[in-house]
Chain A
Amino acid sequence: MSFVLAAYAVLWLVIFGYLVWLAARVRSLREETRSLAADATPWPRSAEADGLSLPLPQEQAHPLEPPIRRR
């Protein structure tokens, strides 16, 4: 009799254990998204930044437009 109970106990133990593990997985994903959103910085765009070898005259460098807002 004890083995039957043991079997059913293990059944629920493993299933709920897996659910708890999944919940932990979701929490860690949420943390990762928060940290990613925090360090999103606008990307500088100019000829020098693109590693071009010819020195461009300064006045031709365009002012930086604000990065496109994500909808």
Chain B
Amino acid sequence: MIPLVIATAAAFLVALGAIALYAPLEAVQGVAQKIFYIHVPLAWCAFVAVGVLLVSSLRFLRRSEPRHDRLARAAAEVGIVFATLVLVTGSLWGKAVWGTWWTWDGRLTSTLVLWFLLAGYVLLRSLSEGPPARTARAAAVLGVIAAVDIPIIHLSVQWWRTLHPDPVVLRAGDIGGGLTPRMLTTLSISLAAFSLLLVTLIALRRRIAEAEDEVEALWHLPGRGDLAA
């Protein structure tokens, strides 16, 4: 665990250095464009977290081993953290470049809905009162359904955006295009740093999930010390 934390810290130092010094000032947006280097990796991490949630939920439903359930739990929670950051940095960037806190741009709106799905997942887990095994299975099914729904939601939001009758005033601009090689390298460094952060947080949260399960198991054995030999 410790080497992972050190690696993440180092990667971030390099990334911040690259963003501050190495990345060129973008012609149109000027310095505000620097938010791009954290906004995009954050969005990437949020979607990776959902991917982990989907895979671990499917695996748990096939063979109900607690470790898949714990990974799903960790991925969902960390996913919310990243999704929140995406929304915040997105709106800050929007304010800096277009002067509006929120543009109903297809990508940003999908992330907002993603945030709701993940929040719903975590709420279902924390509010469920039945036997833990049943809650875990219910959460796993919800995880799969939410993950499958994300592309459909993204598509419908895009159509909702592009098939809009009024001319769209604020084009959020295509984030991907127009990147000089230097920008690209900075972006990839930053992407690596954030991916490491994602892995560290998920690993950390999973360890805590293990502790949670231990304590939960203790509740079922009051008084008798005969944990299964």
Contacts and interface: CB of A to CB of B under 8 A. Distances in A.
Interface of A: 1, 3-4, 6-8, 10-11, 14-15, 18, 22, 25-26, 29, 32-33, 36-37, 39-43, 67-70
B223 A7 contact: no
A33 B212 CA distance: 10
A33 B208 contact: no
B201 interface: yes
Given A7-B38, A10-B88, A22-B205, A43 B211 contact: no
Contacts of A70: 225-227
A1 B31 contact: yes
Contacts of B38: 7-8, 11
A3 B93 contact: yes
A37 B224 CA distance: 11
Nearest to A33: B215
A60 B93 CA distance: 81
Given A14-B84, A15-B81, A36 B223 contact: no
Interface residues of B, number: 33
Contacts of B168: none
A55 B219 CA distance: 33
Q: B interface, by DSSP: helix, strand, loop or mixed?
A: helix
19 contacts: A4-B32, A7-B39, A7-B92, A8-B38, A11-B42, A14-B84, A15-B81, A29-B208, A29-B211, A32-B215, A33-B218, A36-B218, A37-B218, A39-B222, A41-B223, A67-B226, A68-B225, A70-B226, A70-B227
Given A3-B35, A4-B35, A11 B85 contact: yes
A15 to B, nearest CB: 7
Interface string B56-93: 00000000000000000000000001001100110011
A13 B118 CA distance: 21
Given A3-B93, A22-B208, 19 more contacts: A1-B31, A3-B35, A3-B95, A4-B35, A7-B35, A10-B85, A10-B88, A10-B92, A22-B204, A29-B212, A29-B215, A32-B215, A33-B218, A36-B215, A40-B223, A41-B222, A42-B223, A67-B225, A70-B226
